[in-house]
Amino acid sequence: MSRIFITGTSQGIGLETGRTLVEMGHEVVAHARNDERARATSEALPGAHAIVTGDLSDLASTRELATRANEHGPYDVIIHNAGLGGGSGERSETADGLERIFQTNVVAPYVLTCLMPLAPRMVYLTSGLEANGRLRLDDLQWRERPWDGMQAYSDSKLHDAMLSFELAARHPEIVVNAVDPGWIQTNMGGPSAPDPLPLGAETPVWLATSDDSIATTSGQYLKRRKAQTPNPATQDATARAALVAELESITSLSLP
């Protein structure tokens, strides 16, 4: 039995991942944005070991989430699942003055990675759209460019993959991987998505629990339990270091 922390567990892939792991007999610490969502998660995931709250679009709340999550650790597995889609809306900033998609999808998992002890297995959910992502260190938050929500989302998923590859390079003693869950029928994926919800949870669950050689190999980009070729930026150590430096500047936290 493993103790597993999953962000974004109130719905979608995160909830399905949590439900599957609980059914397998593991202790799952779930995460919800606020108390209202925590109550809904408790109903949907009654077997959860604990549910902790924290708003990933708020730096102080994300720090508090790390503290609350650590109270239930240490963890055998941490799954960074939570994320915000691109949509077609206008650019918006959080109370911290950061672009919302960038803060939720990139800054938040970075903060949690910095403030929580590394688990033996770390999983970062990305997206197939990371292939279209671009690393624009001069404009990470779309302050200069005309807003493109889907490109901003694609960029954020590339950043997530780069973070996972950088952590894998720094810590060969643990297993760190990025996962493309596919285009899944969730609120984010929409009703026209071709793949059912259980398929989106399959690879994160497998990485959390399997002793297969691929599942226990670090520094991969995976989909459907198979290694894929990631965006070339993930393999650029200089680019990864530059991204981490920007995140460190924003958060005043150093990646372990």
CATH number at residue 140: 3.40.50.720
pLDDT of residue 182: 81
241 found inside a domain: yes
pLDDT of residue 196: 79
7 found inside a domain: yes
pLDDT of residue 197: 78
pLDDT of residue 198: 83
Contact yes or no for 176/167 (Cβ under 8 A): yes
pTM of the model: 0.96
pLDDT of residue 87: 72
Q: How many domains does the chain have?
A: 1
Q: What is the span of the domain harbouring residue 97?
A: 3-251
Catalytic residue among 75, 110, 124, 153: 153
Q: What pLDDT digit, counting tens, does each position of 26-45 carry?
A: 999 999 999 999 999 999 99
E strand spans, the chain: 3-6, 27-32, 50-53, 77-80, 121-125, 175-179, 220-223, 226-227
Q: Which residues pair with 121 in a beta bridge?
A: 77, 175
pLDDT of residue 183: 74
pLDDT of residue 88: 65
Which residues of the chain register pLDDT less than 70? 88, 185-190, 193-194
- Strand 3-6, strand 27-32: pairing: parallel
3-state helix, strand, coil in the chain (%, to 5): 45, 15, 45
Q: Could you tell me which of 158, 162, 167 has the C-alpha nearest to residue 128?
A: 158
256 found inside a domain: no
Indicate the SS3 state at residue 128: helix
75 carries an active-site annotation: no
Q: Which residues pair with 53 in a beta bridge?
A: 32
Catalytic residue among 124, 157, 223, 226: 157
